Structure 1
């Protein structure tokens, strides 16, 4: 450093050439300034219990998801999502911001499934994307993966298997390796491959799901107080049942659909999913129809439409069943009765259900 630069540095430092009293005053002022820096870092407009309240609210919304009609839950969750957006626009600490971002993402993930249940794919995908982005901003990979799980299902029901597979793979990048969600996302990719008529792709992805299931730890993680392991177990039974239907492998579909239905029916009452049970019955009905047994297929179709929670995904799959029965068994008068029941279900207000 040259002489001129050294003199400039001394002038900038100031303290080095100040008298002792002046130096002490500078240090005292710096201490006060440091305290102000700390105060600003901790400054927040959030009440002391706001984050705890949000955690409780998201937990209750997750529980209400399987107990109340989706429109009512959607409205309540959207109201809270707007509240969190307002909180994010206010003053908060960096730690609080990360937590608020995560709560925003969890609420949007729920809204994605609820919109799917209500038959609005566009809104569902918009909230799934919002959930993913907020999860990224919060540094919450698991939340990002849940968001893409929702996007994969919605795209599948919209007959976009390519986008469904992309969403599943995007989620797998974020999901913890030994989490049940990893099993589910591999199974989502397998289901997307089957929907695209790719039998080899289905086999490879489903094998990855089975391998991931074997690596799960003894203790299952929980999501807002609920065990998520059943979601992995269901994916290994119901997803291949649907996939084998799409691949035209009726006997394999029948076996997996029966296993899925038994698994759902054996679940504790608090975690039963009527919509998933209904879809398993429709898969089983389609398998029977493929195997030349329209009577059992029609009976299972009526059972599915008699579910307490006939949401859009159930009506969508029931429509597949009715269309197939009409093509394969055009003279079967009982098919008309099932078709009429489906038409009535379409006109009824949708009931709540977990996403399938």
Structure 2
């Protein structure tokens, strides 16, 4: 090992020798820094794979997508355990985080909240280690939704606020996270908290730039639009404000149906129909509620969140209109959907 500290006391000839040896050592440092088992196209391949998985999310059965994404998440974990440069490690952690964030949503869709929250936590940690605040915020958006459907509104609000601490101020995700906090407050019966948080969401929306950022080639502005329409519909139902819920749900459904085909979300449309159905049931219109319930259950993508909300609908209808034949028909439809959904999540979830 060359000792540069001796340079000041060395003779000119010895100093030249020390510097020459230092040059050789510097080249070795560089060689080691560049040494990696990652091929030059590996990161490009991962970028393409993550993009395609996100596009497939709303179009393909969640179980099939889960299996494929989990395999890639395991590959990235193996890459992180091999020789790589520091920039490559950061990129790998970002890809690991995006894959885990998607796995969180897929596990939620498949009805396994524990796995979903585990992957949301992993996505947040990978984002932290990579210094990627936006990834952290997306991870907490997933955690907020999962906790909400697990009837843990306090945890949902905590996740939304944790995400807001990481999200860029003028980004549609900030709107969505404020709306998540509002929805959590409503689930907790806090009408004032809902109003305050939802006002923050609307204020954030007004400050969005003219051109919204994209995520994996897709416009993320609709996610803010959806949060400002569907979240208050659900919230008003939980707060017992049936007429306001009906108005919001009709607006949400119209927004979803008007979206371009590439960004349509069958599951979100189904939930909007269920919100509208519950509002009609609360307003004393069970026939309309049952019709909308059947339409929601006939959706092309009946994931766990749809089934969860549909159970809320059938429970309310059964309690308030127990002798209606149409209500029993909807309950049977719901039971058939539940039976077809089992088993849900693949058992192997290691490697994340």
User: The TM-score by the shorter chain falls in which range?
Assistant: over 0.9
Give the Å deviation of 1:22: 1.4
| 2:29 is aligned with 1:37 | yes
- Alpha-carbon distance in 2 for matches of 1:342, 1:66: 22
Structure 2's unaligned 5+ residue stretches are: 345-352
- Alpha-carbon distance in 1 for matches of 2:342, 2:135: 27
| TM alignment of 1:276-315, pairs within 5 A | 276-315=268-307
Q: Secondary structure at the match of 1:174?
A: coil
Give the TM-score of the pair, scaled to structure 1: 0.94
8 Å Cα contact 2:290-2:326 kept in structure 1: yes
| 2:334 is aligned with 1:346 | no
Give the corresponding residue for 1:242. 234
Give the corresponding residue for 2:252. 260
Runs of 4+ in 1 over 6 A off after TM superposition: none
Give the corresponding residue for 1:51. 43
- Alpha-carbon distance in 1 for matches of 2:293, 2:221: 28
Give the corresponding residue for 1:90. 82
8 Å Cα contact 1:155-1:161 kept in structure 2: yes
8 Å Cα contact 1:70-1:350 kept in structure 2: no
Deviations 1:240-292 (A, max 9, x none): 00000000000100000000000000001111101000000000000001111
Give the Å deviation of 1:12: 8.7
| 2:95 is aligned with 1:103 | yes
| TM alignment of 1:1-356, pairs within 5 A | 13-349=5-341
- Alpha-carbon distance in 2 for matches of 1:297, 1:348: 23
Taking structure 1 as reference, are residues 16 and 258 closer, same or farther at Cα in structure 2, changes over 3 Å only?
A: same
Give the TM-score of the pair, scaled to structure 2: 0.95
- Alpha-carbon distance in 2 for matches of 1:193, 1:317: 18
Give the Å deviation of 1:220: 0.8
- Alpha-carbon distance in 1 for matches of 2:10, 2:179: 71
Taking structure 1 as reference, are residues 350 and 303 closer, same or farther at Cα in structure 2, changes over 3 Å only?
A: farther
- Alpha-carbon distance in 1 for matches of 2:261, 2:343: 18
Q: Secondary structure at the match of 2:165?
A: helix
- Alpha-carbon distance in 1 for matches of 2:191, 2:125: 33
Q: How many residues align?
A: 342
- Alpha-carbon distance in 2 for matches of 1:350, 1:189: 31
Q: Secondary structure at the match of 1:178?
A: coil
Taking structure 1 as reference, are residues 167 and 121 closer, same or farther at Cα in structure 2, changes over 3 Å only?
A: same
- Alpha-carbon distance in 2 for matches of 1:13, 1:39: 24
8 Å Cα contact 2:253-2:272 kept in structure 1: yes
Q: Report the RMSD for the aligned CA atoms in angstroms.
A: 1.4
Structure 1's unaligned 5+ residue stretches are: 1-10
Give the corresponding residue for 1:4. none
- Alpha-carbon distance in 2 for matches of 1:192, 1:253: 16
Give the corresponding residue for 2:350. none
